[in-house]
Amino acid sequence: MKQIPVYHVDAFTSTPFTGNPAGVVPDAGALTEEEMQNIARELNLSETAFLLPPQHPEADLKVRFFTPTSEIGFCGHATVGSAWVLATDYGWLEKAERLVLETNIGLVPVEWQTTDGRLTDVVMTQVTPKVRDAEVSAADVARWVGVQESDLDTRYPIRLGHTGNWHLLVPVKTRAAIDAAQPMLSELEAINRRQEAVTTHLFTLESKGGDYDLYTRDFGPAVGIPEDPVTGSANGALAGYLVLEGVLDNATEHRLTFAQGDAMRRPGRLQISISSSPDGAVIRVGGAAVPTLKGMLTLP
């Protein structure tokens, strides 16, 4: 029998039992892929991050992400949770101003933000965004996500967006319509698998004076997650979509607050900046985290 440390971390929040919970295994170098999948299934969180020695010469650590059913290329909230644990329990906040994580989709730099020496936020720079046609009808999408076709916001196109994973991005007129959505999960699973997408992501630019600029909701049955509370990768892809589709001016720097999780009673907030570079839009996604459980996991 062997034991390894494991954490349960709520990401994109500073309040326990809100935001998106992730598993974090900080010392996974001796684990097999089968053991990682079994641990992710045992923890039964949307994603669990496993930290290993890096293979890339520019990386500080390698991280692999598993849902209860499969490995995925990238996970935003588990990245935030992992970086928070590394900073607070493994001394990285004193070692360096940032670290570089090697993931299956490339290198992801992560920076710390502090106030009076206290960690307040973790900010990751996601890979360069891209979009492609979803090749689906508005009527079908409305039926799959469980809203009326008239609820869709036709000012903006339905697209697949990517900053690490592909996500089906669906514009909706109002938060009320998003909150009332009753998705057909089996249908979404089939279309996302066909599109090689991880989730379907509903969004609205209606804020009505709230503490956010965009409101979202995310469904991922194709990777064993009926609904994910607060998604760093999907909202990063959405931020890229906003400039690539001309919703926002790509020559201007934008700082936005995205809200998600309210419909699941796990509200979270993401701080997202969008800037330009010679290589394309730069998407930086940040937020706080709070560990709620730390212990030892026993393996056979």
Q: Where are the beta strands (DSSP E) in the chain?
A: 2-11, 20-25, 48-52, 61-66, 71-72, 98-103, 106-115, 118-125, 130-133, 159-162, 166-171, 199-204, 214-220, 225-228, 254-260, 268-277, 280-287, 289-299
**Do 188 and 138 fall within a single domain?**
yes
The yes-or-no answer on residue 47 being catalytic is yes
What is the chain's pLDDT, residue by residue, as a tens digit (300 residues)? 889 999 999 999 999 999 999 999 999 999 999 999 999 999 999 999 999 999 999 999 999 999 999 999 999 999 999 999 999 999 999 999 899 999 999 999 999 999 998 999 999 999 999 999 999 999 999 999 999 999 999 999 999 999 999 999 999 999 999 999 999 999 999 999 999 999 999 999 999 888 999 999 999 999 999 999 999 999 999 999 999 999 999 999 999 999 999 999 999 999 999 999 998 999 999 999 999 999 999 998
pLDDT score of 209: 83
Whether residue 45 is found in the same domain as residue 170: no
pLDDT score, position 1: 81
The CATH number that applies at residue 73 is 3.10.310.10
Say whether pTM exceeds 0.95: yes
- Domain with 277 in it: 130-286
Residues 64 and 203 in one domain: no
- Catalytic one among 34, 42, 47, 206? 47
Give the alpha-carbon dihedral of 283, 288, 293, 295, to 10 degrees. 60
Does one domain contain both 265 and 139? yes
Specify whether 228 is located in the same domain as 294.
Answer: no
281 and 294 both lie in a single domain: no
- When divided into structural domains, the chain yields a total of 2
Q: According to the model, what pLDDT value does residue 16 have? A: 98
Residues 293 and 279 in one domain: no
> At residue 18, what are phi and psi to the nearest 5 degrees?
-125, -175
H-only helix segments in 112-257: 138-145, 175-180, 185-195, 232-244
